[in-house]
Each structure stands twice: as structure tokens, then as C-alpha cells.
Amino acid sequence: MNTSNMQADRLRELLEFAQQSALLRASPIPDIARYGIFHEHEHAIADLPGLVFNKGTADDEDEIWLVIERLQESPAPQPESILLKTWSDIPNSPFKEPTLRSHVEIQTLINIGALPSRKINAGIDPRQPMAFTSFERKKTVEEQFKVYIENVWKPWAAEEKRRRKTISLYARLFTLKQQLEGGIVDAQIELVWGSGVAIWNMAGTRVFHPLVTRLVELSLNESTMEIEVRPRDIDPRIELEIYSEKDSRKNLKIKPLHCPRL
């Protein structure tokens, strides 16, 4: 055996030793909720807008398990009634319901024709605010506001909440992509796609972990700005480390696929 072969064998043995030592030091994580960087369940995202699972290609050679579109927030719908719009305070958030203003400037009401100037007492500055409780068309505004909330704002808010979950997921995966590519974090990290869930109460420790995992990669489609998740060319892995030190299997339960997937 020549010197170069001996050095290569020693290097290989050293790497194997380092790998095994690292495995001994690392404690298996029993619950996927403890993965601090990223984890997600399919059932929590499956019906979100802008997500496509198992997207095929024309030649069927490129496996794409998940596509996340780059969506934008949609603004809150405005009331069609100028009167209602003037009295409404509508935040651009589906989590905060609009309210009616307590005061509106008198001149603003005059400008939209909601308050005839002849009804303004002499000597009153039109720049002063008028209280909603004093506005003579208060009941009309309240009725219009109720219809707007029930028929316009609430349907928008329900859909926009789902939309913003997709936007949040996209942002988290985009950040994760940068971490994977740029070494932003100190420890080496990988993204896996899990299938099947093992649930076990192991001596007081809750086990909730996929049984089979497959390494996946994130890529950015430059033309559509979609994030794509593809399986890496590596065999799936059976996750049994958490059970290797235990003899009992009495409480092990196996659930079907679909949760979690990421």
C-alpha cells in the first residue's frame, strides 16, 4: 500500500470517528415542535392559496413536491358609500375589525354633501370636529356600517388571513434558503420532508416525530419568484434513533402519511 492510500484511509477513519462522535453527542429530538428553525404540518397549510403540491413537469423528470407562490397582501376593501367611508376607520389588517370614528371635521362633512352649510350656526369654525353622536344621519351610517362589515369586510378578512399565512410561509422558507446556502447559522442544518408520524409516551417524554424522512432542497424560480421544494438524490431515512435506547415498544402507534410533510 502506498503512502497516499494510507493517508486516504486514515483520513476516512478520522472522518468516520468524528461523525460517530458527533452522533453520540447529539441527542435525538423526540418532538418536531422542538426544531427551532423551521417546522410545518401539511394539514395546517394544505388549503392555503398559492400552494401547489406534487407539481409535475412536462417531461416528468423533475420532481417538485411543493411550490409556494410569492403573493402580495391585498388592501382592505373600502365602502362604496362616501358617507360611510368618511366615518369609517379601516386598518389594512384582517385581524383588526374596522370601527366608526368618534369625530369628523365639519368641513369634511360639508365637502361630501353630508352636512349642508346652512345648518352650521354662525360663528362656528368648520374646521372643528363634529361628534358622531351629534350627527343627524348617525343611524344611516350605523346601518351601512353593519352591512359593510358582514357582507364585505368579513369575507375579505377570512380570505386575507389565509393569504397572509402563505406570505409568512414564503418569507420563512426564503430566510431558510439563505441560511442553508450562506451558512448564516453556526450549526449545520438540513431540510427534510417527513412522512408518517410515530406517537409515543416514552417514560414521560412525548414523542411526535415522522417515521420516514427525505432530504429536500429549496430553489427559487427566477422567472416566477416561486419557491420550489424538491427531493434530493438521497435515499429516505427511517428515524429510529429516539427509540434505540429503549426496549419497550408497547405504546408505539403508527399513523398514516400526510402529517407532517415538512
Average pLDDT over every residue of 156-168: 97
Q: Per-residue pLDDT for 79 more than 90?
A: yes
Q: Specify whether the CB–CB gap between 85 and 79 falls below 8 A.
A: yes
Q: What is the pTM of this model?
A: 0.75
Distance CA 63, CA 31 (A): 28
Range 136-141 contact pairs with CB under 8 angstroms and sequence separation of 24 or more: 137/83, 140/83, 141/83, 141/84, 141/87, 141/100
Q: Per-residue pLDDT for 58 more than 80?
A: no
Distance CA 262, CA 67 (A): 13
Average pLDDT over every residue of 235-249: 70
pLDDT bucket at 80, cuts 50 / 70 / 90: very high
The β-bridge partners of 197 are: 210, 255
Distance CA 179, CA 114 (A): 56
Q: What is the pLDDT of residue 122?
A: 58
Task: Write the pLDDT tens digit of every residue in 193-215.
Answer: 998 888 888 777 888 888 899 99
Comparing 112 with 122, the larger pLDDT belongs to: 112
pLDDT bucket at 32, cuts 50 / 70 / 90: confident
Q: What is the pLDDT of residue 87?
A: 97
Q: Per-residue pLDDT for 25 more than 60?
A: no
User: If you average pLDDT over each of 5-19, 144-158, 172-186, 238-252, which comes out highest?
Assistant: 144-158
For 153, the grid coordinates are 369586510
**What percent of the chain shows pLDDT beyond 90?**
48
Q: Per-residue pLDDT for 185 more than 70?
A: no
Would you list the domain boundaries of the chain?
27-69+190-255, 82-164
Q: Per-residue pLDDT for 61 more than 80?
A: no
Distance CA 113, CA 107 (A): 10
- Count of other CB atoms within 10 angstroms of residue 246: 13
Provide the strand spans (E) within the chain: 51-55, 64-68, 88-89, 99-100, 103-105, 129-131, 191-202, 205-220, 227-231, 237-238, 253-255
Distance CA 27, CA 136 (A): 70
DSSP 205: E
